[in-house]
Amino acid sequence: MEGILGRKVGMTQIFIADGTAIPVTVIKAGPCLVVQVKTTDNDGYAAVQIGLVEDKPAKLNQPEAGHFKKAGVAPLRQLEEFRIDSGEELKAGDEIKASMFAEKDYVDVVGTSKGKGFQGVMKRHGFRGGRGSHGSMFHRAPGSIGSSAYPSRVFKGMRMTGRMGGERVTTKNLQIVKVDAEQNLIYVRGAVPGPSSGYVAIRRAKRG
């Protein structure tokens, strides 16, 4: 398996043997159930769709309910697809746990960043802004955004004000410091995207 689904618990620190404090993010990873297996013959690629087992019941429409009924799996709120090797044998209902990872493994963590609403150019893009004193009336405004006669338009991709955050973000090459298989907890060194209790996908890192 390439990865697992989980929820971000929060951040803490762990002391290693030499007394160094390491900042870690605690993720409750799994248990997950296989909902669908995609094959090269039927779908053109080999992958597996898994769902995170939670206490809260899932609210489903009719097509979604049929999808879980076909798999013989109880309805799950969060699903994610992971690529697998074509020779890997998995079937609907198989359980995937945090024990699939080990200490010192490297992973990529995918999550949805915190939404920060509509923001200006200084917060959103790190613009310097104008001076704050001596009668200046230019402080946090974006300034000029284009030319006059030519090209008489604003170029695409211009950094401007707008909605910030709430995007799919991947943090790569994070090291696993500790795995608690009994509690399904994974301790990852550093920060991961999203708020506490937010969903994250943990994938094996493709280190060169």
Residue 44 domain flag: yes
Token code pair at residue 25 = 């993010």
Token code pair at residue 109 = 């963590």
The number of C-alpha atoms within 13 Å of 36 and in the hemisphere containing its C-beta is 20
Residue 51 domain flag: yes
Report the pLDDT value the prediction gives residue 87, as an integer from 0 to 100: 59
- How far is the CA of 126 from the CAs of 60, 140, 149, 197, in angstroms? 42, 11, 29, 28
Residue 198 domain flag: no
Q: How far, in Å, CA of 7 to CA of 130, rounded? A: 41
Complete DSSP assignment for the chain: --EEEEEEEEEEEEE-TTS-EEEEEEEEE--EEEEEEE-HHHHSS-EEEEEE--SSPPP--HHHHHHHHHHT----S-EEEEE--TT----TT-EE-GGGS-TT-EEEEEEEPPP-EEE-HHHHH------SSTT---SS-----S-SSSS-SPPTT---SEEE--SEEEEEEEEEEEEETTTTEEEEES--SS-TT-EEEEEE----
Residue 50 domain flag: yes
Residue 45 domain flag: yes
Query: What integer is the mean pLDDT of 71-89?
Result: 83
Token code pair at residue 29 = 């990873």
Residue 204 domain flag: no
Query: What integer is the mean pLDDT of 99-110?
Result: 92
91: domain CATH number is: 3.30.160.810
Domain of 69 in residue numbering reads as: 31-96
Residue 144 domain flag: no
Q: Is the pLDDT of residue 114 over 60?
A: yes
- Number of independent structural domains in the chain: 1
| Average pLDDT in the chain | 90
Residue 5 domain flag: no
Query: What integer is the mean pLDDT of 161-182?
Result: 93
Q: Is the pLDDT of residue 107 over 90?
A: yes
Q: Is the pLDDT of residue 207 over 80?
A: no
pLDDT in tens, 28-66: 997 999 998 888 888 888 889 999 988 888 888 899 889
Query: What integer is the mean pLDDT of 154-181?
Result: 93
